[in-house]
Amino acid sequence: MTNGDVCDNGKVSDIVVDVPVKVMHMMNARVGPMKEPEVIQNDQIGRLFTHFRDKVDERLYRIYYKRQKLDMIDSFVVFSAIFDVYILVMAILKYSENEITKIAIVALLLFVNILLFVLCHIQRISVAMRSNVAYVIWTLLTIQIFFDLSWNSNSGLPSEGVTWLVVLVYLTYVMLPVKLVLCILLASLVSIGHVCAVIIIWTQKSNNVTLLGNQVGANILLVVCSHVLGVISYIFSDKQQRRSFVETKSSLSVKVTIEKESKEQERLLLSVLPKHVADEMLRDWGEGGDGQFRKIFLTRYENVSILFADIVGFTAISSSCTAAELVKTLNELFANFDKLANKFHQHRIKILGDCYYCVCGAPDPRSDHALLCIHMGLKVVDAITYVREKTKRDVNMRVGIHTGAVLGGVLGQKQWQYDVLGKEVILANKMESGGVPGRVHISETTKSFLHDEFELEVGHGAQREDYIRLLGLKTYLVKSVLKPLEPDQVNGTAFKNDNHINANKNGFSKTGSPGKGPTLEQEEDGIPMNTYEPSGQRYDGDFGDDGENLEQRLQEALLERDNDAGVSKQLYHLSMRFTDRKLESRYQGRRERFSDMASVGLCLVALFTFLARLCVLPVTFYALYSFIIGMLLLVAMTTFTLAVNNNVNSCPGCLLRFSERVEKNIVPRILWTGFLVLLLTATDVVDIFGCAITNHSNSTSAKWMQPSDPTCKYPPYFIHTGSLVLIGIASLVQIGQFVKLVLVVSIATLYCVLDIVVMAQLFDSYDISVYSQYERDNTVPPSKFRLTAALIAVAVAVIYFGRRTDSTSRRLFLLAEVADKQKEQVTLLRMKNEALVYNLLPGHVAKDFLGSQKKDDELYSNAYDEVGVIFAACPNFHDFYNESAVNNNGLECFRFLNEIISDYDELLLQGRFSSICKIKTVGPTYMAASGMTGTVQVTKSTGMCGRWKHLDDLVQFAFAMKETLQKINEQSFNNFILRIGINHGPVIAGVIGARKPHYDIWGNTVNVSSRMESTGHAGRIQVVEETMVILKEFGYQFQKRGLIKVKGKGELMTYFVENRTEGENVMLNGLPY
């Protein structure tokens, strides 16, 4: 019988819930850095028509972006309501019978807008409905602007309503939840329609104005500039939203991935540990123990039946099979055993090489534990027929069962395995070794829990096992079933009540010779016996392989996170700043600071407004030189911004340092942006002071537009260009809402003062020139008030829009903060989960299992040619063990054993033992192996010392174990001793079971190592001659013991290892180490 479950113990350390740094370093060093889950791939964000390469990601993003746009629909409603209020007030002031219909229509539209605004704020409009609302509002607003143009065609000039058109074009880009191409198309259609309407209306008028083309040209320039600003804002918004989408989707993808991995890792953990034990260990993991002792996880169970089932003749099979063949055969056999264990309410404890070990009655107590355990044993005997037929070798199962009280739980800090401990377990093991191949061997204690369900015969176990003889126990062999199980006693609905064992039906004669029996390919009790699960089934937990489910979950999560509920509670209402100063500081540091496009947009506003003024206003000294100076400064500052932000190599280092300082500090950034806005405003306002007042004539002579004529015939264009300046401020992203508010209010106030106070006569002269005496006296409000009201309306709309965009920006920032925290949390969770799995499987095996879902026929196996194996037992622990009440029924004794094993586990965390893997403990016996972790690369040219350095490490580990035990003896006044056996050679390693994976090693090397321990001397390390020859190269001294008889091997020459002489150097590949 061999021992298994190799684990790369170095993957785990004393982890608490927050995973200490040493575990991170250790996992990175020993396993490799943890891979980040793949996130969506995207083109360079910031291009005009950027998109994600993955069509699914692009589709998800469009849904996400549409939702973001629809959350700002109230800004569209506000602008529409402001426009309605303006038209309504103007119509009331210009009241006449012809205006009644107009007033009624506009009032109705205003009511609708107010209603929509309220419904949007109380979230009574669904997402789908809001999308329709956006299109309806845009359509109604477009129609209103055209109707207003038609209503004012009898009075005024073609410049009437240009301000509203400019704002509508801009809002088309920033409000409608459609792609950029469609925004351009819709805005262009409105612009072209407006230009055509102006041309058609004013060319048909009998009193046609002079220079209609100039005014249309000025209108076109202003609208084109609005298009450019809209495109810039759209691109930036798209860039910002895509970045937020990437962060959010990445965070959620990681979360979903971690949940899926956690599900798989939990399954792996629960395949080894009962749920209540796993929960307790996870809850208390990393906490201090009981006083001077570590935390121990053991529970006493009364009346538990223990089954050991060993394959007789297994050594011959393992010597003749390849690694893959052996693992496949054992996987099929033990997977079937697991199925039977589930059926008969057994709990698998361990697979000890070729021995299957399970219990009934723990951790879930049952009154029929003995009955079910015997039925399990009978089915196990039946199942071996498959292996015998497949391998063509005379193999059999030997089953032993005993019943008694046990302690169930986990010992040690690494390589967790649930185990049952106590004297009754030892006796159950001896019942197996003293049994008969092909039969179920039970103790008299187990018989006492039966009620004539089986026909029994005397087992004569004392004749085959000295332990049974010394205890004077009477044993029995199960001959046949007299009372079949009831259907409700087993798991599964297709159970057959059959007497499934006798000399012929179970495939064996009374002497255990092979007969014809069922194979694993046949159905037994209505359940396919070929695999543990249906062939090809994958274990995906609750997630499955359906990518659409994952996509749907991500889509729902993205939309759920898109709301303002948590943002408003964290903001000051007026300034829109976070109440948490640290959060505000991080926001100012992470937000878009120097947007190249925004700075370019201000330059374009200056250019287009100047060209528009050239079309309709006089070319004066003030106009020309103010534009040249302002434009040069704007271009210089914008070029500097572009050069620095795009890392132009020719940019001087001092400028880079200056830019970095401006970007990192909010005050310099505000001053820089404020100066840009001041330059833009100056280039637009200075022209006003160069205008002369008109001569109050209604003449429309061509002299109006001569360069030598300083009179301003079309002053409304100052207001139109001012509106464009306000829109330019709205497109800025390097400043917050409060700064925008100050700038907009200041600039709007400046224009109002200029229009109403400073240049009042200019607009009065315009009214006299354009409108008739009747209109001036009775119907038309003064232009300075009308245009100022329009400018104030635009300013209010820009301010509200700025608050909404800032709120959205802050919400995206909070989502990014949450995403970062989630990434940190899931990273820690992943590290903890991986550390847990590395407690169950070696690192390289764990990664293979965690990275994919295994089918039953996808097995892990490997053959190693040069491996060292150690067995270290504490033979006098059984003398120390006492199940008296003083020792809490043996619990206190195992507390000492837990300390010993835990100290051994901690030794393996040292770097010098990195080539050694722990193999699970069996009672007081500790097993480890070297040369399988892959920490050292060995080639054909590597010398003996290089190839077997891990064996030297294994011997040093043995001496370290002796020193550790000696310290424990000194502290506890005990006299525990170690008996150690070491061997080297080839082994076969593999994982048995995809659903309940169990890593194990097999081979003659393991068997001989076990015999070296069991036949050794207390306090000594015993090796065979071949191992001695290798270790001699490392400077070890030996004491020859001589020939000893080893079961199954005959006589072997053995030696006791003495430690190396201190200071002695051994040459490794010609170099001392």
- Sort 85 into a burial class: Cβ within 10 Å, 0-12 / 13-18 / 19+: middle
Task: Give me the amino acid identity at 394.
Answer: D
Cβ atoms of residues 116 and 137 within 8 Å: yes
Helix axes 212-272, 783-837, angle to 10 degrees: 20
Paired strand residues for 570 = none
Task: Give me the amino acid identity at 819.
Answer: A
Smallest Cα–Cα separation from 218: which of 171, 173, 169, 157? 157
Tokens of 604: 């374009």
Cβ atoms of residues 350 and 357 within 8 Å: yes
Smallest Cα–Cα separation from 293: which of 898, 748, 907, 729? 898
Q: Residue 362 has what DSSP assignment? A: S
Measured CA distances, 407 to 362, 892, 895 (Å): 9, 11, 11
Q: Which of 8, 84, 148, 310 is catalytic?
A: 310
- Sort 493 into a burial class: Cβ within 10 Å, 0-12 / 13-18 / 19+: exposed
C-alpha–C-alpha distance, residues 863 and 11, integer Å: 22
Which pairing describes strands 355-360 and 1037-1046: parallel, antiparallel, or unpaired? unpaired
C-alpha–C-alpha distance, residues 385 and 504, integer Å: 13
Taken in order 375, 378, 384, 385, the sign of the CA dihedral is negative
C-alpha–C-alpha distance, residues 442 and 445, integer Å: 8
Which pairing describes strands 396-410 and 440-443: parallel, antiparallel, or unpaired? parallel
Could you list the beta-strand ranges (E) of 21-78.
none
Tokens of 271: 């395949």
- Sort 516 into a burial class: Cβ within 10 Å, 0-12 / 13-18 / 19+: exposed
C-alpha–C-alpha distance, residues 987 and 975, integer Å: 34
Smallest Cα–Cα separation from 339: which of 527, 539, 481, 521? 527
Tokens of 813: 């920032």
Residue partners of 232: CB distance under 8 A and separation at least 6: 597, 598, 600, 601, 731
Angle (CA) 980-981-982 rounded to 5° is 125
- The alpha carbon of 1067 is separated from its chain's Cα centroid by a whole number of angstroms, namely 48
Residue 310 designated active-site: yes
C-alpha–C-alpha distance, residues 913 and 922, integer Å: 22
- Sort 71 into a burial class: Cβ within 10 Å, 0-12 / 13-18 / 19+: buried
Q: Which of 311, 468, 982, 988 is catalytic?
A: 311
Cβ atoms of residues 901 and 918 within 8 Å: no
Residue partners of 699: CB distance under 8 A and separation at least 6: none
CA dihedral 958, 959, 963, 964 (to 10 degrees): -20
Q: Which of 5, 354, 755, 905 is catalytic?
A: 354
Cβ atoms of residues 208 and 202 within 8 Å: yes
Cβ atoms of residues 545 and 538 within 8 Å: yes
Whether omega before 618 lies within 30 degrees of 0, making that bond cis, reads no
Smallest Cα–Cα separation from 11: which of 826, 832, 827? 832
Residue 394 designated active-site: no
Residues annotated as catalytic are: 310-311, 354
